[in-house]
Amino acid sequence: MALKNQYLIDLLETVKKRNPGEPEFIQAVTEVLETLQPVAEKRQDLIDAGVFERIVEPERQIMFRVPWVDDNGKVQVNRGFRVQFNSAIGPYKGGIRLHPSVYLGIIKFLGFEQVFKNSLTTLPMGGGKGGSDFDPKGKSDGEVMRFCQSFMTELCKHIGADTDVPAGDIGTGAREIGFMFGQYKRLRNEFTGVLTGKGLTYGGSLARTEATGYGLCYFTDEMLKANGSSFDGKTVVISGSGNVAIYATQKATELGAKVVTVSDSNGYIYDPDGIELALVQQIKEVERGRIKEYAERTSHKNAEYHEGSVWTLKCNAGSIKLDIALPCATQNEINEDGAKAIVANGGFAVAEGANMPSTPEAIETYLSNGLLYGPAKAANAGGVATSGLEMSQNSERLSWTFEEVDSKLHGIMKSIFKACDEAAKEYGCEGNYMAGANIAGFLKVAEAMKAQGCV
Ligand code: NDP
């Protein structure tokens, strides 16, 4: 969808000039502005209030040194980030990514996406994101703890239960959240819900671990049903083998599908008999190992391991036939060739567990081939929605049951699909859930920004 609206073309030019060397951020802004064209044409009041110009500029960006001492006594230095993007509808909220590829542009793209995603959840949460170029892989627990403590020593000056509430993301799971929470509590002498994704013994919510993967499947199920289909009997290709991929595999299987792949950054498993999830969990959650080991340890004789990206959809026996693709690893993992392979191998639906896993060319390929496409901001919003529910429980000083949280999550994912569907219809792009998600997410934040004046 090319930009034709002159006002938005000029704005995008300004964003490009102001944010050089940040291609992921420009990619995220471009996609949103393209789909907001019908809104810009209808809502001169939002243009007059400067909402479009303000929403693409983070309210605050914090960068800091994170020094720590490794197991050999050597000083290591990483760079920490927190981008507080937009607080129009609630405290900043968004995860912390620990991965060597992290730099300011990645955190800004994630923070920008988070603004719209959090708005879609129906809960009062603004958008933010943080992280570091620290790589937890191959580090001892002691090294991870010293890094997390150093990271929080600076971050604690900028966050708080009513200001900014970080959570997990790539490389930040229960272990890292625990170390960060402990350090925050020690430094501030406060036991508050300042982080979500906490352990169950100190304020965490049941079903938070499962929420992003489950939510992805609940959203996809709504999208399938609205188009006369379902997960039942379908073959699903999933990338990643982390938090999102594991619980998406579990829920898709529960809903009657067969998941035939999982992957990590080295390669992928193709198991035509259906992924043995307990083994993936043992390798990834318990042993922190590599997915390659699955092929050596599974009792499924036909399982194969291949180096490279799962989205080549190739295996020894031929090509991987599929119905539904759920990318759950990282940004831009599916390019145009990957999208074409999904179409050629029978895929009719793609829903994104990862943030921005499809390049613009891949999205164009889905849409021009009539695939059902559930964009990340809507499809993976179940994680942050359940973080919002964790915040509510912390404020109440109560814990809800697993069933209670899961049923609220299910209701939220249904309402997110409905909001995307209705906004797409209202703005003349029926069936384009990407446009619907961007428009619905934007309008709530935009109304709040207009009402609060030029801040
Ligand atoms: P994890 O760290 O638990 O797992 C990430 C998975 O993706 C691992 O299998 C990892 O493989 C793989 N991966 C990471 N980077 C790359 C890469 N550059 N190339 C190929 N594979 C890669 O993270 P999550 O499951 O939490 O996050 C996955 C995605 O979902 C991210 O895009 C995240 O932003 C998004 N997300 C997560 C939410 C959550 O609640 N956790 C909420 C909403 C979105 P390896 O082990 O080799 O690195």
Q: Which residues pair with 358 in a beta bridge?
A: 334
Cβ neighbours of 10 (radius 10 Å): 12
Give me ligand 1 centre to Cα 352, in Å.
Answer: 12
Residues 6+ apart with CB under 8 A from 14: 53
Q: Whose CA is nearest to atom 29 of ligand 1?
A: 354
Short-list 377, 445, 362, CA closest to 56: 445
Separation of CA 452 from chain center: 28
Phi, psi of 373, rounded to the nearest 5 degrees: -130, 115
Burial of 128 (0-12, 13-18, 19+ CB in 10 A): buried
Which residue reads 């620990």 in tokens?
98
Separation CA 290–CA 325 (nearest Å): 22
Separation of CA 69 from chain center: 31
Phi, psi of 329, rounded to the nearest 5 degrees: -105, -75
Per-residue pLDDT 10s for the chain (455 aa) are: 789 999 999 999 999 999 999 999 999 999 999 999 999 999 999 999 999 999 999 999 999 999 999 999 999 999 999 999 999 999 999 999 999 999 999 999 999 999 999 999 999 999 999 999 999 999 999 999 999 999 999 999 999 999 999 999 999 999 999 999 999 999 999 999 999 999 999 999 999 999 999 999 999 999 999 999 999 999 999 999 999 999 999 999 999 999 999 999 999 999 999 999 999 999 999 999 999 999 999 999 999 999 999 999 999 989 999 999 999 999 999 999 999 999 999 999 999 999 999 999 999 999 999 999 999 999 999 999 999 999 999 999 999 999 999 999 999 999 999 999 999 999 999 999 999 999 999 999 999 999 999 99
Helical packing angle, 382-396 and 208-226, nearest 10°: 130
- Res 1: pLDDT: 74
Separation CA 357–CA 375 (nearest Å): 9
Separation CA 219–CA 253 (nearest Å): 15
What is the side-by-side strand order in the sheet with 372-374?
304-307, 267-270, 258-263, 235-238, 324-326, 349-351, 372-374
pTM here is 0.97
Query: Mutation test of ligand 1: which of 209, 241, 265 has the most ligand atoms closer than 8 Å to its C-beta?
Result: 265
Separation CA 82–CA 96 (nearest Å): 8
What is the widest separation between alpha-carbon atoms in the chain?
64
Separation CA 244–CA 237 (nearest Å): 13
**Mind telling me the catalytic residues?**
129
Separation CA 317–CA 412 (nearest Å): 41
Q: Whose CA is nearest to atom 31 of ligand 1?
A: 354
- Res 119: pLDDT: 98
Short-list 56, 89, 120, CA closest to 384: 120
Short-list 413, 410, 409, CA closest to 389: 409
Give me ligand 1 centre to Cα 342, in Å.
Answer: 21
Q: Whose CA is nearest to atom 17 of ligand 1?
A: 265
Burial of 230 (0-12, 13-18, 19+ CB in 10 A): middle
Give me ligand 1 centre to Cα 447, in Å.
Answer: 33
Q: Which region, left, alpha or beta, applies to residue 228 given φ > 0 means left and ψ of -120 to 50 means alpha?
A: left
- Res 437: pLDDT: 98
Give me ligand 1 centre to Cα 314, in Å.
Answer: 22
What residues does ligand 1 touch, defined as CB less than 6 Å away?
168-171, 212, 240-245, 264-265, 328-330, 353-355, 380, 383
Q: Whose CA is nearest to atom 15 of ligand 1?
A: 330
- Res 206: pLDDT: 98
